[in-house]
């Protein structure tokens, strides 16, 4: 993957990248998602996300921008090295869990690996997400 890109491995069930993200991908990864992306530099494997894309657990993705907090919780550096998660998080990305829909909360919980997210009531789901976020932040 490129010099300005960091290679991340999806450690959660899925990681989502938002529109306008520039990703470094293999041809196969791009081919599976080409309806949601446009080439920036195909020789270098760089593609711009035009509609939110997902990557499954175990996939590797090159990304050089600031990550939203939810995506950051679902990925780790592929080489296994330690990094400062705060360095990669967009400082303007504050998630107000109270403002999210139930479906969005369930989606976040699943990305974080919270089992039985659909079975939890809204307050319990928000609490579980907050606890998991604190747990991941202290690792």
Q: Once rounded to an integer, what is the mean pLDDT over residues 19-46? A: 93
Closest CA relative to residue 44, chosen from 23, 73, 29: 23
CA distances from 81 to 3, 6, 66, 69, 113 (A): 16, 11, 18, 19, 21
pLDDT at 56 over 60: yes
Domain residue ranges in the chain: 1-93, 95-139
| % of the chain at pLDDT higher than 90 | 32
- Res 138: pLDDT: 43
């Amino acid at each position: 993957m490129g010099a300005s890109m960091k290679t991340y491995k999806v450690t959660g069930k899925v990681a989502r990248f938002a529109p306008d993200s520039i990703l470094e991908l293999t041809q196969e990864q791009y081919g599976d998602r080409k309806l949601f992306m446009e080439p920036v530099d195909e020789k270098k494997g760089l593609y711009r996300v035009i509609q939110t894309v997902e990557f499954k657990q175990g996939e590797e993705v090159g990304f050089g921008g600031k990550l939203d907090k939810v995506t950051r919780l679902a990925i780790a550096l592929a080489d296994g090295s330690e990094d400062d998660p705060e360095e990669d998080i967009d400082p303007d990305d504050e998630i107000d869990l109270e403002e999210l829909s139930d479906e969005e909360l369930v989606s976040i919980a699943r990305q974080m690996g919270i089992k039985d997210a659909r079975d939890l009531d809204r307050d319990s789901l928000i609490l579980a997400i907050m606890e998991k976020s604190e747990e991941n932040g202290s690792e």
